[in-house]
Amino acid sequence: MKVLIAIDSSISSHHALEQALLLLNLQKACFLLLSVEEIVAAPSMIASSPFGIMTENTNYNIYDEIELTHQQEKRNLTALDWAREFCTKFDIESQSILEIGDPKHIICQVAQREKPDLIVVGSEGRGILERALLGSISDYVLHHTHFPVLVIRND
- Domain chopping of the chain, boundaries: 2-153
Interval 55-82 mean pLDDT: 62
Q: Please give the CATH architecture assigned to the domain spanning 2-153.
A: 3-Layer(aba) Sandwich (3.40)
Q: What is the pLDDT of residue 78?
A: 81
Q: What is the pLDDT of residue 24?
A: 77
Residue 147 pLDDT greater than 90, yes or no: yes
pLDDT 10s digits, 31-58? 999 998 876 655 554 445 454 544 544 4
Q: Identify the band that residue 136 occupies on the pLDDT scale cut at 50, 70 and 90.
A: confident
Sorted by sequence, the CB contacts under 8 Å of residue 141 that are 6+ apart come out as: 6, 104, 107, 108, 111, 119, 121, 149
pLDDT 10s digits, 76-134? 668 888 899 989 888 889 999 989 889 999 999 999 999 999 999 988 765 555 555 54
Q: What is the pLDDT of residue 94?
A: 92
Q: What is the pLDDT of residue 126?
A: 57
Q: What is the pLDDT of residue 57?
A: 46
Interval 8-31 mean pLDDT: 83
DSSP state of 37: E
Interval 12-28 mean pLDDT: 81
Q: What is the pLDDT of residue 54?
A: 47
Q: What is the CA radius of gyration of the chain?
A: 18
Edge-first strand listing for the sheet containing 149-153:
93-100, 30-37, 2-6, 118-123, 149-153
Q: Identify the band that residue 146 occupies on the pLDDT scale cut at 50, 70 and 90.
A: very high
